Amino acid sequence: MGESSNSSASYIHMVQHMIEKCLIFHMSKEECMEALSKHANIKPVITSTVWNELEKENKEFFEEYAKAKSKDERMSEEETSQMIQKMISDSSKVTFSYGRSTETRQQEWSTTS
């Protein structure tokens, strides 16, 4: 069960990371749900649940985000698609690094520093 819960936590963390990327691109919750469903095959209910938890933990941020979002123009579908593809590509690199041990990552960092 430990391995199963660890992979679930890793999956949720990946979804959170992708939601954070959506926020950077000024996407609404609905836009994010649609984009992650279409481009990353993440069920909208998963995205919605993780988004809701983020909102609970970061109430002030999301209030300000909603105000700022109402001022932004919507992106075209093509722009959104390009950004999501880049986000997925970047996320796969991050997800891969989560699978390695902390010791391995520390060794890699010390050799690149």
| Parent domain of 37 | 2-112
Q: pLDDT tier at 80 (50, 70, 90 boundaries)?
A: low
pLDDT tens digits, 99-111: 444 444 445 454 4
What is the tally of structural domains in the chain?
Answer: 1
d(CA 39, CA 93): 16
Q: Among candidates 74, 88, 95, which has minimal Cα distance to 19?
A: 88
> What Rg value do the Cα atoms of the chain yield, rounded?
16
What pTM, to 2 d.p., does this model score? 0.61
pLDDT tens digits, 49-59: 999 999 999 99
Q: DSSP readout, 3-50?
A: HHHHHHHHHHHHHHHHHHHHHHTT--HHHHHHHHHHHH---HHHHHHH
Report the phi/psi class of residue 74: left, alpha or beta, with left for phi > 0 and alpha for psi in -120 to 50.
beta
